[in-house]
Amino acid sequence: MDFITSATLKESDNEVFSIIEKELERQTRHLEMIASENFTSPAVMEAMGSVFTNKYAEGYPNKRYYGGCEFADQVEQLAIDRASQIFNCKFVNVQPHSGSQANGAVYAALLNAGDKILGMDLSHGGHLTHGSKPNFSGQNYQAFYYGVELDGRINYDKVMEIAKICQPKIIVCGASAYAREIDFKKFKEIADAVGAILFADIAHVAGLVAAGEHQSPFPYADVVTTTTHKTLRGPRGGMIMSNNEEIAKKINSAIFPGLQGGPLIHVIAAKAVAFKEVLDPKWKEYSKQVKANSKILAEVLIKRGYDIVSGGTDNHLVLVSFLNKPFSGKDADIALGNAGITVNKNIVPGDTRSPFITSGIRIGSPALTARGMKEKEFEIISNKICDILDSIEDKELHKKINKELEELASNFVIYNQSTY
């Protein structure tokens, strides 16, 4: 064996090894409250770090362009079958490298350049890939937007009005920073009224949908995309689902050979492992806890005088507005970070500050729930968040809270030293 095949990462590249060690420590010591992040199981990571990373498997199960794909076929088919069982749909493509790639494939499959799409405004909670100007979806297609009302909620009558005026070919529903349940049935009525295709992007709430803790986009949506690494707790990646065979065929061609080359079979193997976890009865418990925890977070923040967009939450996240406070989302992000709480600054409806400053933060419960935290811990953490925001200039206090929270975090260890 030459030195490359025999050495461990530590022996072969101590520089990278020690950076990974530091990242592991960061993830362990800090409280991860970014709504789009989560912790996968060691089993998912093991599959992701497997020999499948060596395999080329362009094409689909039993229709490959390379030899030696019999096990790649088996593992991809397993991922497809499990996803189709979870979401109760007929056709699944597990190859998208990310949520954005999945969305790109939907547009490429169903639209021509310049066609009209209607999506949720980025500054109201939508995603870049829903028609935002700096993104391919806003550059290649003619994008129109709906948003939320002053009460922070989508007004479906308004969406209907906008759809009737712009006559889009695709209506995109689903969001990245929206704390209320999305009514796919209402979106379907709107899509039907204007003859549009309904495209649901459930990247954020997929795990809740899988547990029956959020309305399912099926049978309403014509095509559904998701990421696999957010509430779904799998490896970083995307997925596309449909019950329409014609659409599914177009999607498969759009992913390969349209947009991507060889699938990441090691990631697909990890997706299969994550889907098995989702099919476990315990998944329902986890998802219920995710919602219960974000609810406590919203309640405490409101009680302590903070403004929550839409006045609460139905899902895994809370959007806090500082429009009526003397500090910005960026200030809050930094102060919380100094106390060991990781969140992200976020534009809120009616924001007057730039996307780099913002007047809000987005806080999510999935990652800490994965570490085993429940209402009791969320109540403590939510009050600490308010203590920090109440005294946003008091760096000494932030340091003190950091110490206390590190102690709390140390009781909820998710990975040990052999996890990389």
Ligand X SMILES: *Cc1c(COP(=O)(O)O)cnc(C)c1O
**Of the listed 129, 227, 231, 313, which one is catalytic?**
227
Catalytic site residue 236?
yes
**Position of minimal CB gap to ligand X:** 99
The binder of ligand X chosen from 32, 76, 121, 201 (CB under 6 A):
201
203 part of the interface to ligand X, by CB under 6 A: yes
**Of the listed 21, 37, 56, 189, which one is catalytic?**
56
Catalytic site residue 342?
no
Nearest CB to ligand X, comparing residues 265 and 317: 317
Place of tokens 């930094």: 334
137 part of the interface to ligand X, by CB under 6 A: no
99 part of the interface to ligand X, by CB under 6 A: yes
Q: Of the ranges 200-208, 255-263, 282-290, 408-416, which one interacts with ligand X (CB under 6 A)?
A: 200-208
Nearest CB to ligand X, comparing residues 241 and 409: 241
**Of the listed 169, 180, 230, 325, which one is catalytic?**
230
Least distance in angstroms from the C-beta of 96 to ligand X? 8
Measured between alpha carbons, how far is 173 from 88 in angstroms, rounded to an integer? 19
176 part of the interface to ligand X, by CB under 6 A: yes
Measured between alpha carbons, how far is 90 from 244 in angstroms, rounded to an integer? 8
Task: Output helix, strand, coil percentages for the chain, rounded to the nearest 5.
Answer: 50, 15, 40
Nearest by Cα to 166 from 187, 198, 189, 142 = 142
- Site map for ligand X, 286-325, x if CB under 6 A? ----------------------------------------
Catalytic site residue 58?
yes
Contact 373/31 with Cβ under 8 angstroms? no
Contact 220/198 with Cβ under 8 angstroms? yes
**Of the listed 116, 153, 186, 236, which one is catalytic?**
236
Q: Of the ranges 173-181, 247-255, 378-386, 411-419, which one interacts with ligand X (CB under 6 A)?
A: 173-181
Q: Collect all residues with Cβ–Cβ distance below 8 Å to 152 and sequence separation of at least 6.
A: 179, 180, 309, 310, 311, 319, 349
100 part of the interface to ligand X, by CB under 6 A: yes
Least distance in angstroms from the C-beta of 98 to ligand X? 3
**For the chain, how many residues are written?**
420
The binder of ligand X chosen from 124, 180, 204, 295 (CB under 6 A):
204
Q: What's the longest Cα–Cα distance across the chain?
A: 68
174 part of the interface to ligand X, by CB under 6 A: yes
Query: What order of strands is seen across the sheet that includes strand 360-364?
Result: 307-308, 317-321, 360-364, 344-345
Catalytic site residue 201?
yes
What are the DSSP calls for 200-261, one per residue? EE-TTTHHHHHTTSS---TTT-SEEEEESSSTT-SSS-EEEEES-HHHHHHHHHIIIIII-S
Give phi and psi for 412, each to the nearest 5. -130, 65
127 part of the interface to ligand X, by CB under 6 A: yes
**What three-state secondary structure class fits 43?**
helix
Residues 10-69 interacting with ligand X (rule: CB under 6 A) = 36
Nearest CB to ligand X, comparing residues 128 and 302: 128
Our measurement of the distance from residue 265's CA atom to the centroid of its chain's CA atoms, rounded to an integer in Å, reads: 21
Nearest CB to ligand X, comparing residues 176 and 242: 176
Nearest CB to ligand X, comparing residues 203 and 409: 203
Nearest CB to ligand X, comparing residues 199 and 306: 199
Q: Is 403 exposed, middle or buried (0-12, 13-18, 19+ CB in 10 A)?
A: exposed
**What three-state secondary structure class fits 173?**
strand
Catalytic residue IDs: 56, 58, 201, 227, 230, 236
Which residues in this chain contact ligand X in the complex, by CB under 6 A? 36, 98-100, 103, 127, 129, 174-176, 201, 203-204, 227, 238
